[in-house]
Chains A and B, each alone.
Chain A
Amino acid sequence: QKEVEQNSGPLSVPEGAIASLNCTYSDRGSQSFFWYRQYSGKSPELIMFIYSNGDKEDGRFTAQLNKASQYVSLLIRDSQPSDSATYLCAAREYGNKLVFGAGTILRVKS
């Protein structure tokens, strides 16, 4: 069974700090990885995707991928209370299917 593991949290950070969210995956064949943000009671919305080793930056968000360690992370700089949500990590597998982690709850305190 292919798995994506995330620490459930909650991860609490003060406003303006950097939030670091981590994810590991079991399938070495996975090539594409996605971070979704989900507010309570709402559907997931895509934040970042990354396909290559290294860092990918988009505004306050940076995704990092290390395929050798099977590790994906999401950094949120200058965290805001509006960033408080559950962050879902997903790995794409054969057939264009996604395997999701259970999500990490992030709380940004003002």
Chain B
Amino acid sequence: DGGITQSPKYLFRKEGQNVTLSCEQNLNHDAMYWYRQDPGQGLRLIYYSQIVNDFQKGDIAEGYSVSREKKESFPLTVTSAQKNPTAFYLCASTGTGDQPQHFGDGTRLSIL
């Protein structure tokens, strides 16, 4: 089935540790996005990529890094510089033109 797969579903980070969240899609979509959602709030854009080997910062990129080496994959690293990483992280993708974004099931990150 075509879709967006995020893993793991739950992730725990220790102080000073970098962690990487996986996002894979088999929809042949060009554009991929990472959002962060805090309780009771909407989604805020962290990074996005419209083409392989290219990505741009969103509104809250500090403390995060990404790569886009393959069209199917857009991993997000939460670095130790991100002091408040506890949140629900959502990956989305969309095709060309005016198509809507569709989301993966999300990764819930907590601090140990």
A and B part of one assembly: yes
Given A95-B48, A97-B58, A100-B42: A32 and B98 within 8 A (CB)? yes
A98 on interface, CB distance cutoff 8 Å: yes
B45 on interface, CB distance cutoff 8 Å: yes
Distance in angstroms between the alpha carbons of A101 and B42 in the assembled complex:
5
Given A95-B56, A96-B94, A97-B58: A43 and B103 within 8 A (CB)? yes
A residues contacting the other copy or chain, number (CB 8 A): 22
* B43:A44 contact, CB within 8 angstroms: yes
Whole-angstrom distance between the Cβ of A44 and the nearest chain B Cβ: 5
B41 on interface, CB distance cutoff 8 Å: yes
Q: Mark B33-74, 1 if CB is under 8 A from A, else 0.
A: 101000011111100101000001010000000000000000
A102 on interface, CB distance cutoff 8 Å: yes
Whole-angstrom distance between the Cβ of B5 and the nearest chain A Cβ: 12
* A45:B48 contact, CB within 8 angstroms: no
Residues 35-82 of A contacting B (Cβ, < 8 Å): 42-46, 49, 51
B83 on interface, CB distance cutoff 8 Å: no
* A46:B41 contact, CB within 8 angstroms: no
Cβ-neighbour of A102 out of B40, B58, B98, B105 (below 8 A): B40
* B103:A97 contact, CB within 8 angstroms: no
* A43:B104 contact, CB within 8 angstroms: yes
Residues 78-110 of A contacting B (Cβ, < 8 Å): 88, 90, 92, 95-98, 100-103
* A45:B103 contact, CB within 8 angstroms: yes
Cβ-neighbour of A100 out of B43, B56, B94, B106 (below 8 A): B43
B90 on interface, CB distance cutoff 8 Å: yes
Q: Which residues of the partner chain B approach A96 to less than 8 Å between Cβ atoms?
A: 31, 48, 50, 94
Please give me the 7 A-B residue pairs with the lowest Cβ-Cβ distance, nearest first: A100-B42, A100-B43, A43-B103, A102-B42, A43-B106, A49-B100, A43-B105
Contacts beyond the supplied A34-B100, A46-B102: 4 A-B pairs with Cβ under 8 Å: A43-B103, A46-B100, A95-B56, A96-B48
